[in-house]
Structure 1
Amino acid sequence: MDEQALLGLNPNADADFRQRALSYFEQLKGSQDAWQVCAEALAQNAYSDDHVKFFCFQVLEHKIKFKYSELTVNQQQLIRETLVAWLQAQMLNAQPEKTFIRNKAAQVFALVFISEYLTKWPKFFFDILSVVCLNPRGVDLYLRILMAIDTEVVDRDIVHTPEEARRNTLIKDTMREQCIPNLVESWYQILQTYQHTNSEVTCQCLEVIGAYVSWIDLTLIANERFINMLLGHMSIEVLREEACDCLFEIVNKGMDPIDKTKLVESLCQVLQSAGFFTIDQEDDVDFLARFSKLVNGMGQSLILSWTKLVKNGDMKNAQETLQTIEAKVPLMLQLLIHDDDDISSNIISFCYDYLHVLKQLTLLSDQQKNHVEAVMLAVMKKLTYDEEYNFENEGEDEAMFVEYRKQLKLLLDRLAQVSPELLLASVRRVFNTTLQNWQAARFMEIEVALRLLYMLGEALPVSHGAHFYGDIAKASVLQDMMRTLVTSGVSAYQHTSVTLEFFETVVRYEKFFTVEPQHIPIVLMAFLDHRGLRHVSPKVRSRTTYLFSRFVKSLNKQMNAYIEDILNRIQDLLEPSPPENGFHALLSSDDQLFIYETAGVLIVNSEYQAERKQILMRNLLTPLMEKFKLLLEKLMMEQDEDRQIALADCLNHIVGFARNSFKWSGEKNAYLIPKFLTRHLQGRTSKAFSNKQTVKQCGCSEVYRDCLQTFLPALSCPVQKEVLRSGVRTFLHRMIICLEEEVLPFIPTASEHMLKDCEAKDLQEFIPLINQITAKFKTHVSPFLQQIFMPLLHAIFEVLVRPAEENDQSAALEKQMLRRSYFAFLQSVSGSGMSEVIGNQGVENVERVLFTVIQGAVEYPDPIAQKTCFVILSKLVELWGGKDGPVGFTDFVYKHIIPACFLAPLKPTFDLADAQTVLALSECSVTIKTIHLKRGTECIQYLQQEYLPSLQVAPEIIQEFCQALQQPDSKVFRNYLKVFFQRAKL
C-alpha cells in the first residue's frame, strides 16, 4: 500500500496529504484487485493505526456493496476467510478496537451476509458464534453484526427495491427455519452471563432482542424465563431503560387480540407487583420517560385489541379488554400530570385513544366520567407555562413546550367530542375563579385561563362563528366568559403572554361583539393604547397590528361610530420612517401595512357619503405622496450605497401602503393577476374594495390617480431601479383592477420607462402587466399594443441573444422563463381578438414573430413553452387560415406549421411519458385539426401526397392518419396522434 498516501488518513494531516489519501481511496475503489491488499492487511493485523484499519474496511465495503458479483468463487471465499480471521484476532488482542472500527466491521459482515447467506454461507451465524463463544469482545462484535443485519434486512425506514424486498423476505424466512432458536438461545446466555458484570453488552443484547422480536416467533421471547430476566433488569439502574425499550417492542408485536390482552395484562401485573406503578416514588426522570413510553405502548395495544374484538363482534372478550384498559387509566393519569413534559408527552397517545374509545360508547359509567374529568384537569394543569419560560427569546426548550401544547390541544379537542358540557363547565369554573382575582394571580394562571377560553373556539363541535347562536346553553356560557374577559380589566395585566392571549381571544370570538356591541369601545381602546399597538414589546405590537386589522374587518358594520376617532389615534403610526438619525419607529414597515389596510377598510366600509370618504382617503394618502416625492429626490442625490438601499426600501414600502387591494373572493378580474404576483398584491389602503364598493363609487378614483402620478417618476430613477420598478409595477397591476379605463393613460409612459435598460427578469415581470391589460381591456388597448409591440419584442430578443457562460444555470433558467413569458404575451394578444396587432407590424416583423413561434414549438426542449406555441399557432390558423387570410399565410401553414407539428414530437427530448409534454402534444393535435377544418381536402391531399411521404411514412399509415384526422371527434384524433408518435419513436 502507498504508505505516504495513508498518512493523509490522520485527521490532523495537512490538506495536501488528505487530498492524496482521498485520491488513493478512489484509485483503490476502481482497481480490480487492490481490495485483496486491504483484506490481507486486516487478516494479518498489519497496521496499528485505527484510521488505516477503517480505510481498509471501507475499501472492502465498496467492493462487496457494488462489485461482489464480479468476484470469482475463490475471491469471495477469501473475503469470508478474511472476516473470520479478523474476528478471531479480536479475541486475542490486548485492547479492543475503537467503536467506529467495530461498527464498520459489522457493516461489512452484514453486506457479506445478505450476499452469501442464502447460497454459499448458510452457517454464517454458527460460524460467528463458534468464533466468539461468550468472549465479551466477541459478543460485542456479534451483537453489532446482528444490528447491522437488521438495518440491511428489516429496517422499514430504508427504501428497498422490489428485488431487495423479495430477497430480504427470503432471508427472514430462512433464518426462522434454520437458526432463530439458536440466536435466541445465544441472547439468553449473553444476558444471563453479563447482566451483572457488563452492562454495555447486556444493553446491546436487549437492543438486538427489541429489533428482532417484531418478525420472529414471539413465544421464543415472551416466555417465563425471558420475561423474568427482563423484569429483573428493570430493577438494575444501568439496564432498566434498555429493558423498558425491549418490553415495549415485545408489547408492540402484532398478535391475536385475545393473546395480546393476556400478554399485556400479565406484564402489568408483574410490573405492578414489583412496585413500578408507584410513580411518585421514582426520581429518575430518564427511566420514567422510557417507562411512560412502555405504558403508552401497552395501553395502545389493548385499545387496538378492543377495536378488533368489537369489529369481529366478540363483545364478551371486548368487554373484558375494556375493563383491562380502564384498570390502566389511573397509571396513565399519573404519568400525564407528571412535572416532566417528556414523561407526560409519551403517554398522550394512549390518553387520546382512550378518549376515542369513550366517544364510541353510548353511555359512560360514573368511573369513566371521572376519568374524563381527570384527563381534563390534567390537560389544564399541563398547559400552564413554567416560570422559566423565556417569552422574549424563545429557544429550543420553549419550542418543545409549544409542540407539547399542540399535543395537549388535540386531547382537549377529543375531550370536547366525548363530553362538551363537562369541558365547558370545567373551563368556566377555572376561568371565572382565575379572573375574579386576576390582579393577585400569577401570569401563567391567567394565561392558561384565557388560553382555555380561546381553545374552546375550535374544540366545541359548532360551526364557525356560531358560538353565540344556536345552542342557548353553550352560547350563554361563552357569552358570560367573554363579557367577564372584556370587562374585568385583565387586558391591563403586564405580561406579554396574557396580553397576546387577550387579543387573540377577542378576535377569535368577534361574533360576541355583534351580540353585545356595547363592549367594542373597551376593546378598541385596548388595541390602540399601551396594551396593544403601543405596547413596550415589539412582539406584542407586531401581532396586535394583524389582530386589530382582523377585528376591524370582521366588525366593519359596527365600526361606523368610531371611524374618525380610530383614524386620529393611529395617525402617528402611519408615518413612513426611513432609518434616519438612528430613529426606530414604533411599528415595522410590515406592521404598518396592516395599519394602512385597517384604515382603508374603515373608510371604504363606512356609511359616509362618497365625498366624505374621498376626503378621509386623501387625508390618509397625501402624506404618503409627499413623503414619496421627498425621499425620491434624496435617493437621486444619495451617493452612499447603504443609504440608497434604505431609501429605496422605504419608497417601496410607501407604494405598498398605498397599493389598493380587492377582496379576491368578489373580484371578477382577479384571474388576470399572475399567481406569482398575488402575494405582492395584499396592499393595504383599500382592501375592502370589491364589486360592491368600487373605487369610483367611493369617490376615491382621483386620489389613486394622484398616487399613480406620484409613483411613476420612480421608474426612471437610475438608482436601485429593480426595487423601485418592482413596487411600482405591482401598484400598476392593482390599479388596472381598481381604476378601470382611468389607468390607461398612464400605461404608455410606464411601459416606456420599464423597457429601458432591462434584464431578463425585468421583462419577465413586465409582460404579465401587458397581458393583464390585454385580457381586461381587449380592443380598447389595441392602438397602445400596436405601438409597444415591436419595442417590447426587440427588448426580449436582445436579452435572449446575449451571450452567457456555458454552465450558468441561473442565466439559462432566466432565459427559459423569459421565453415562456414572451410566448404567453403572444398567446394573450392572439387570444384576445387582437390578431391585427401582430398582423399590422409589417411583413418582415410578422414573419420574424411567426418563426420565433415555430422555433419555440420545435427547437426548445421546454414542454410548457411548446404547448403555448401550439396554442398560438392554432389560434392564428383559426383567424388567418381561411381563404381571406393574409397573403402568404397559407404557404406558411404548409411550409412551417404542419412540419412543426411533426418535427416537435419526433425530437428525442419530446418525452411522451411526461405529463407536460402530453399537454403540448394535445395542443399540437388541436393545431393540425384546426388546419384541416380551415383548409379541408387541400390539407388532406398535402399530407397524403407530399408531406407524410417525405417523412418515409408507409402508405397504409398515411391512410390511417388521414382517416383519424377526418373524424369529427377531436378526442379520437388526439389519442391517435399519441399512438402515432409512440410507434414512430420505436
Structure 2
Amino acid sequence: MDEQALLGLNPNADADFRQRALAYFEQLKISQDAWQVCAEALAQRIYSDDHIKFFCFQVIEHQIKFKYSELTEVQQQLVRETLVTWLQAQMLNPQPEKTFIRNKAAQVFALLFVTEYLTKWPKFFFDILSVVDLNPQGVDLYLRILMAVDAELVDRDVVHTSEEARRNTLLKDTMREQCIPSLVESWYQILQNYQCTNAELTCQCLEVVGAYVSWIDLSLIANERFINMLLSHMSVEVLREEACDCLFEIVNKGMDPIDKTKLVESLCQVLQSAGLFSIVQEDDVDFLARFSKLVNGMGQALITSWTKLVKNGDMKSAQDTLQAIEAKVALMLQLLIHEDDDISSNIIGFCYDYLHILKQLSLLSDQQKANVEVRLVEGEDEAMFVEYRKQLKLLLDRLAQVSPELLLASVRRVFNTTLQNWQATRFMEIEVAIRLLYMLAEALPVSHGAHFSGDISKASALQDMMRTLVTSGVSAYQHTSVTLEFFETVVRYEKFFAVEPQHIPNVLMAFLDHRGLRHTSPKVRSRIAYLFSRFENGYQALLSSDDQLFIYETAGVLIVNSEYSAERKQVLMRNLLTPLMEKFKVLLGKLVMAQDEDRQMALADCLNHAVGFASRTSKAFSNKQTVKQCGCSEVYLDCLQTFLPALSCPLQKEVIRSGVRTFLHRMIICLEEEVLPFIPSASEHMLKDCEAKDLQEFIPLINQITAKFKTQVSPFLQQMFMPLLHAIFEVLLRPADENDQSAALEKQMLRRSYFAFLQTVTGSGMSEVIANQDAENVERVLFTIIQGAVDYPDPIAQKTCFIILSKLVELWGGKDGPVGFADFVYKHIVPACFLAPLKQTFDLADAQTVLALSECAVTLKTIHLKRVRLVKLCVKLNASL
C-alpha cells in the first residue's frame, strides 16, 4: 500500500496529505485487487493505526457493495475468511478496537450477509457464534453485527428498490425458519451471563431484542423466562431504561387483540407489584421518560385492541379491554401532569386516544367523567386552560399535516399581535402565544438545529418570532406559567443564538436574576436550573441539591469542552472544586464533634452532596477529552485526598461511605492508574465495622478495579484478599432469626457478591491471588465454592460457583497446578457435579437452575479434557525417555 498516501488518513494531517489519501481511496475503489491488500492487512494485523484499519474496511465494503459479483468463488471465499479471521483475532486482543472500527466492521459483515446468506453462507450466524462464544469483545461485535443486519433488512428510513425489498423479505423468512430460535437463545444466554457484570453488553443485547421483536415470532420473546428477566432488569438502575424500551417494542408488536390485552395486563400486574407505578417516589426523570413511553405504548395497544374487538362485534371482550384501559388512566394522568416535558409529552398519545374513545361512548360512567374533568394544575380556570392547551397541540399537528404554510402564518400573526401589548394582556393569552411558537418545533419537524436554515420563509418567520420573544421584555411578566414558557422556548430554539448571538447576554441575565435562578418559586428555580444546564453555565444560590447537580455538571461540561489550554482548564476546574473541598473539611470536623443525631445526619447529607457535586463534574470527560488531557488529574487527586479521610469517621457511616464509594467508581474510570495508590487505604476503612449491605456495595468496587487493572493490582488483591473474605465470612456466620426474611435475603445477596468476586478474580487471569494464600486459606476458599455449588438452594450462586470451578480446573488442572489440586478435583469437584443436581431443591423447571446445570456439565467436560490432555502428555514424556 502507498504508505505516504496513508499518512493523509490521520485527522491532523495537512490538506495536501488528506487530498492524496482521498485520491488513493478512489484509485483503490476501481482497482481489481486492491481489496485483497486491505484484506491481508486486516487479517494479519499489519497496521496498528486505527484510521488505516478503518480505511481497509471501507475498501472491502466498497468491493462487496458494488463489485462483489466480479469476484471468483475463491476470492469470495477469501473475503469470508478474512472477516472471520479478523473476528477471531479480536477474541485475543487485550484492548478492543475503537467503536468506529467495530461499527464499520459490523456494517461490512451485514453487507456480506445480505449478499451471501441465501446462497453461499447459510451458516453465517452460527459461524460467528462459534467464534465469539461468550467472550465480551466477541459478544459486543456479534450484537453490533445483528443491529447492522436489522438496519439492512428493516430500516424504514432507507429507500429500497422493489428487488431489494423482495430480497429482504426472503432473507427474513429464511432467518425465521433457520436461525432465529438459535439467535434468540444466544440473546438469553448473553443477558443471563452479563446482567450482573457488564451493563453495557446487557443494554446492547436488550436493544437487539427490541429491534428484532418487530419481525420475528413474538412467542420466542413474550414468554415467561424472557419477560421475567426483562422485568427483573426494570429494578436495576443501569439496565431499566433499555429494558423499558425493549418491553415497549414487545407491546408494540402486532397481535390478536385478545392476546394483546392479556400480554399487556400481565406486564402491568407485575410492574405494579414491583412498585413501578408509584411515580411520586421516583426521581430519575430519564427513566420516567422511558417508562412514560412504555405506559403510552401499553395504553395505545389496549385502545387498538378495543377498536378491533368493537369492529368485530365481540362486545364482551371489548368491555374487558375497556376496563383494562380505565385501570391505566390514573397512571396516565400522573405522568401527564409531571413537570418534566419529556415525561408528560410521551404519554399524550394515550391521552388523546382515550379521549377519542370517550367521545364514541354515548353514556359516560362517573369514573370516566372524573377522568375528563381531573384538575391537572391548581385552580379550576387553569385546569380548563391546560386541557385547552393540550387540544391546541392536537390542532397544530393536524393543521401541519394539511397546510404547514397556513400554520406558520397563523402562529406568526397570533404571536406578534399578542406580544405587541403583553403588559396589558392576560397571562393565558401570552402563554398560548409563546406555547404556539414552542410547539412549532414539533408540528413542523426538521433535523436537529435546522430551524434557522434551509427553508428561507420558515427560517425567517421563526427567527423573527424568536427575536421578538427575547427583545420584547415578556420574560418579566409576573406569572410563573409565562416565565417557564419563555425559558422552555429559549432552550428549545437554542440554535437561534448562533444566528443572532447579540441576544445572548440579555437571555443569560434572565436566567440568572429574579426571573430565573433567583425566582421566588422553588418549582420555577428547579426547572430553570435544569433548563440552564442545557443552555449555559449555572448559579448555585437558592437551589436544591438535585438542582445543584445539574449546575456542577454544566460547569464541568463548559470547562472540558472549551477551547482553553489544559493549564487554563485546570485553573477553572480547581476554582470550581476547591470551595467544595474546603467546605468538606470544615463540615467533616463539625460532624466528628456533633452530639445531636439530627445534626449529625444533616452534616452527613451535606458531605455526601459535596462529594456528589465533585463526582458530577467528572461526567464531562470522555475518551476524546480525558482528565489527563485536560490537565485536571491533580485537582481530582486532591479531591480524593480530601474525601477519603471521611471513611474513618465513626458517625453516619452508611451515608458517607456511599458517597465516597460512588466517587471512587468515577475516579477509577477517569484517573486510570493514578487512582491505585488510594485504593488500599480506602478499602481498609470500608472493611471496618461492615454490615452485609456495606460489603455487598463494596465488592463491585473491587470487581471494577480487578477487571480494569488486572495484574497491576495483583499485589494489592493478594494483601486484602483474606481480610475481605474474613469480613464476608464474619457477616455470613452471624446468627439471625429464622423468620427474618430481610436478613436472609441480605446474606443471600452477599453470598452471590462473594462468588461474583471470586469469578472476577479467576476470570481476569489472576488466579495466583488465590493460589498465593496460605494453604489453609486456599482450602477454605475452595470448600466455600463447593458449598455454594451444592448446599445453598440458590441457582444463581450455584451457576457462578460452577463457572469458578471450571475456570480453576482449566488453570490448575494440569501438571503445573497447586499441590493437591488434582486430588481436590476428584474428591470434591467431581462429586459436587453429581450431588448438586440430586438435591431436592434443584428445580429443573426453573430457568436459572437449568443454567446452573449447564455450567455443571461444562465443569465435568473441562475436567475430562484437562485430565486427558495431561495423561497424553505424560505418555509422550515417558515414551521420549
In the alignment, which of 591, 594, 606 is matched to residue 635 of structure 1? 591
1:492-503 aligned within 5 A? 492-503=476-487
Shift of 1:701: 1.0
AA aligned to 1:795 is A
Moved more, 707-716 or 891-900: 891-900
For residue 349 of structure 1, what is the aligned residue in structure 2? 356
In the alignment, which of 542, 560, 576 is matched to residue 620 of structure 1? 576
For residue 811 of structure 1, what is the aligned residue in structure 2? 743
Say if 2:389 and 2:432, in contact at 8 Å, map to a contact too.
no
Q: Mark the CA change 1:857 to 1:517 in structure 2 (over 3 Å): closer, same or farther.
A: farther
Say if 1:492 and 1:531, in contact at 8 Å, map to a contact too.
yes
Matches of 2:869 and 2:380, distance apart in 1: 75
Shift of 1:729: 0.8
In the alignment, which of 599, 604, 611 is matched to residue 567 of structure 2? 611
Q: Deviations over 1:553-586 (max 9, x none)?
A: xxxxxxxxxxxxx67xx3xx3xxxxxxxxxxx61
AA aligned to 2:565 is Q
Shift of 1:406: 4.9
SS of the counterpart of 2:519? coil
Shift of 1:420: 2.9
For residue 529 of structure 2, what is the aligned residue in structure 1? 545
Q: Deviations over 1:256-311 (max 9, x none)?
A: 99xx9xxxxxxxxxxxxxxxxxxxxxxxxxxxxxxxx9xxxxxxxxxxxxxxxxxx
Shift of 1:715: 0.4
For residue 756 of structure 1, what is the aligned residue in structure 2? 688
Q: Deviations over 1:516-568 (max 9, x none)?
A: 3332222211111111111111111111111101113xxxxxxxxxxxxx67x
Shift of 1:802: 0.6
Say if 2:513 and 2:519, in contact at 8 Å, map to a contact too.
yes
AA aligned to 1:902 is F
Matches of 1:484 and 1:899, distance apart in 2: 81
Say if 1:931 and 1:939, in contact at 8 Å, map to a contact too.
no
For residue 550 of structure 2, what is the aligned residue in structure 1? 594
For residue 406 of structure 2, what is the aligned residue in structure 1? 422
Q: Mark the CA change 1:513 to 1:874 in structure 2 (over 3 Å): closer, same or farther.
A: farther
SS of the counterpart of 1:699? coil
Q: Mark the CA change 1:860 to 1:389 in structure 2 (over 3 Å): closer, same or farther.
A: closer
Say if 1:628 and 1:711, in contact at 8 Å, map to a contact too.
yes
The answer to whether structure 1 residue 520 and structure 2 residue 476 are counterparts is no
Say if 2:376 and 2:386, in contact at 8 Å, map to a contact too.
no
Say if 2:491 and 2:531, in contact at 8 Å, map to a contact too.
yes
Over aligned residue pairs, what C-alpha RMSD do you find? 3.5
* Identity of matched residues, %: 84
Matches of 1:600 and 1:508, distance apart in 2: 22
The answer to whether structure 1 residue 459 and structure 2 residue 443 are counterparts is yes
In the alignment, which of 715, 718, 734 is matched to residue 802 of structure 1? 734
Say if 1:629 and 1:710, in contact at 8 Å, map to a contact too.
yes
The answer to whether structure 1 residue 533 and structure 2 residue 517 are counterparts is yes
The answer to whether structure 1 residue 873 and structure 2 residue 813 are counterparts is no
Matches of 1:751 and 1:548, distance apart in 2: 38
SS of the counterpart of 2:817? coil
Q: Mark the CA change 1:395 to 1:896 in structure 2 (over 3 Å): closer, same or farther.
A: farther
Q: Mark the CA change 1:621 to 1:505 in structure 2 (over 3 Å): closer, same or farther.
A: same
In the alignment, which of 503, 506, 523 is matched to residue 490 of structure 2? 506
How many residues in Structure 1 have an aligned counterpart in Structure 2?
A: 527
Shift of 1:897: 1.8
SS of the counterpart of 1:887? coil
Matches of 1:718 and 1:899, distance apart in 2: 46
Matches of 1:418 and 1:891, distance apart in 2: 81
Matches of 2:845 and 2:683, distance apart in 1: 41
Matches of 1:646 and 1:938, distance apart in 2: 63
Which protein has the larger Cα radius of gyration, Structure 1 or Structure 2? 1
Q: Deviations over 1:810-861 (max 9, x none)?
A: 1111111111111111111111111100110121111111111111122222
Where does structure 1 lack aligned partners over 5 or more consecutive residues?
1-153, 162-248, 261-292, 294-343, 354-385, 553-565, 574-584, 660-682, 941-986
Matches of 2:683 and 2:431, distance apart in 1: 55
Shift of 1:698: 1.3
In the alignment, which of 634, 637, 640 is matched to residue 708 of structure 1? 640
Matches of 1:889 and 1:604, distance apart in 2: 53
Q: Mark the CA change 1:796 to 1:346 in structure 2 (over 3 Å): closer, same or farther.
A: closer
Q: Mark the CA change 1:252 to 1:829 in structure 2 (over 3 Å): closer, same or farther.
A: closer
Q: Deviations over 1:409-443 (max 9, x none)?
A: 45543443343333333222222221222122111
For residue 458 of structure 2, what is the aligned residue in structure 1? 474
1:727-806 aligned within 5 A? 727-806=659-738
Matches of 2:870 and 2:514, distance apart in 1: 81
Q: Mark the CA change 1:515 to 1:939 in structure 2 (over 3 Å): closer, same or farther.
A: farther
Q: Mark the CA change 1:480 to 1:806 in structure 2 (over 3 Å): closer, same or farther.
A: same
Say if 1:819 and 1:865, in contact at 8 Å, map to a contact too.
yes
Say if 2:480 and 2:524, in contact at 8 Å, map to a contact too.
yes
Say if 2:814 and 2:870, in contact at 8 Å, map to a contact too.
no
Shift of 1:352: 11
SS of the counterpart of 1:767? helix
AA aligned to 1:620 is L
For residue 822 of structure 1, what is the aligned residue in structure 2? 754
Q: Deviations over 1:307-358 (max 9, x none)?
A: xxxxxxxxxxxxxxxxxxxxxxxxxxxxxxxxxxxxx9899527999xxxxx
Say if 2:376 and 2:383, in contact at 8 Å, map to a contact too.
no
Shift of 1:808: 0.8
Shift of 1:920: 2.4
SS of the counterpart of 1:687? helix
1:170-209 aligned within 5 A? none
Q: Mark the CA change 1:255 to 1:724 in structure 2 (over 3 Å): closer, same or farther.
A: closer
Shift of 1:467: 2.7
Q: Deviations over 1:642-686 (max 9, x none)?
A: 111111101111111111xxxxxxxxxxxxxxxxxxxxxxx2x24
Q: Mark the CA change 1:531 to 1:936 in structure 2 (over 3 Å): closer, same or farther.
A: same
Shift of 1:397: 9.2
Q: Mark the CA change 1:837 to 1:404 in structure 2 (over 3 Å): closer, same or farther.
A: farther
Where does structure 2 lack aligned partners over 5 or more consecutive residues?
1-257, 266-305, 316-321, 323-350, 361-372, 873-881
Q: What TM-score do the two structures reach when normalised by structure 1? A: 0.50
Matches of 1:400 and 1:746, distance apart in 2: 59
Say if 1:417 and 1:461, in contact at 8 Å, map to a contact too.
no
Q: Deviations over 1:940-971 (max 9, x none)?
A: 9xxxxxxxxxxxxxxxxxxxxxxxxxxxxxxx
Q: Mark the CA change 1:812 to 1:723 in structure 2 (over 3 Å): closer, same or farther.
A: same
Say if 1:782 and 1:837, in contact at 8 Å, map to a contact too.
yes
Say if 1:614 and 1:699, in contact at 8 Å, map to a contact too.
yes
Say if 2:511 and 2:528, in contact at 8 Å, map to a contact too.
yes
Say if 1:510 and 1:551, in contact at 8 Å, map to a contact too.
yes
SS of the counterpart of 1:533? coil
For residue 689 of structure 1, what is the aligned residue in structure 2? 621
Shift of 1:793: 0.2
For residue 895 of structure 1, what is the aligned residue in structure 2? 827
In the alignment, which of 651, 666, 670 is matched to residue 607 of structure 2? 651
For residue 279 of structure 1, what is the aligned residue in structure 2? none
Q: Mark the CA change 1:909 to 1:451 in structure 2 (over 3 Å): closer, same or farther.
A: farther
Matches of 1:827 and 1:883, distance apart in 2: 23
Shift of 1:405: 5.1
Matches of 1:887 and 1:345, distance apart in 2: 73
Q: What TM-score do the two structures reach when normalised by structure 2? A: 0.56
Say if 2:375 and 2:383, in contact at 8 Å, map to a contact too.
no
Matches of 1:443 and 1:419, distance apart in 2: 29
Matches of 2:500 and 2:871, distance apart in 1: 75
